[in-house]
Amino acid sequence: GSDVGPQKDRVVTEEEWLQKWEMGNIGFHKEQGHPLLRKYMDVLLNGKSGLRIFFPLCGKAVEMKWLADMGHSIVGVEVSEQALKEFFSEHNLPYFEEPVPEISGAKVFQSTSSNISLYCCSIYDLSSSIVGKFDGVWDRGALVAVNPCDRQRYVSLMMNLMEKNSSYLLVTVSYDPNKHKGPPFYVPESEIQTLFGNCCEIKCLEKVNDFSDRHRQWGLDYFLEVLYILKFVA
């Protein structure tokens, strides 16, 4: 929409993301995990055990370990092999790596306890025939990281990967897009409706002021995180 202003044509390449990891320029990584997931874990899990939970553009999110420790099985995808190796080493988790036959050049890193499988490839190379379907998604930093021109493609993939009645916790960010070019990109509520509205019930759970010095350096004067729960009714 026109309200995302100058961001709509912005493209961040895979190389740029890899470079962020190499340079340690990962201000988006939360060492202690995300407080909103802690707070709304029950909304995601809905009282169920043994769920399959998807982490798109997972980086080395510590929440993958939380959920695996609770007995859920975790699948993530990330272009940076470094991020995935750091995840396993930082949690002292033994793992092995294998090629993914269906995707040229891709690897999957799997914990030896087999409850965490992290794919190193472009998210757009995945499909339900490769990774199966999911009961839950924790999308924090994924939708807001994909290039605005790819959002529809991203959402179509997510639809393909979700079971009926699954729960999708989505964190977006809100700030003045005229003052920062992204990522993370500004995704207005109207766009969430446009992208997901025809197959999901959408509810905004909370808006949190997440403004920090980092955002001030970007030239912003406010920065909010907005948490939604999407229920697939398709």
Query: What tokens were used for 82?
Result: 């470094």
Asked whether residue 123 is marked as a ligand-binding residue, the answer is: yes
Asked whether residue 147 is marked as a ligand-binding residue, the answer is: no
Q: How far is CA 41 from CA 1, 16, 66, 99, in A?
A: 31, 32, 10, 32
Asked whether residue 102 is marked as a ligand-binding residue, the answer is: no
Asked whether residue 25 is marked as a ligand-binding residue, the answer is: yes
Asked whether residue 80 is marked as a ligand-binding residue, the answer is: no
Asked whether residue 138 is marked as a ligand-binding residue, the answer is: no
Asked whether residue 140 is marked as a ligand-binding residue, the answer is: yes
User: Who contacts 63 (Cβ-Cβ below 8 Å, separation ≥6)?
Assistant: 33, 34, 37, 55, 138, 140
Peptide bond connecting 101 to the previous residue in cis, omega within 30 degrees of 0: no
d(CA 197, CA 234): 10
Asked whether residue 64 is marked as a ligand-binding residue, the answer is: no
d(CA 96, CA 91): 15
The 8-class DSSP code of residue 141 comes to S
d(CA 130, CA 122): 13
Query: What tokens were used for 70?
Result: 């609770």
Asked whether residue 78 is marked as a ligand-binding residue, the answer is: yes
Cβ–Cβ contacts within 10 Å for residue 203, how many?
A: 11
The total number of residues shown for the chain amounts to 234
d(CA 146, CA 134): 20
Asked whether residue 27 is marked as a ligand-binding residue, the answer is: yes
Asked whether residue 179 is marked as a ligand-binding residue, the answer is: no
Asked whether residue 49 is marked as a ligand-binding residue, the answer is: no
Asked whether residue 28 is marked as a ligand-binding residue, the answer is: yes
| Contact (CB, 8 A) for 34 and 63 | yes
Binding residues: 17-28, 57, 78, 122-123, 140
Binding residues for S-adenosyl-L-methionine: 17-28, 57, 78, 122-123, 140
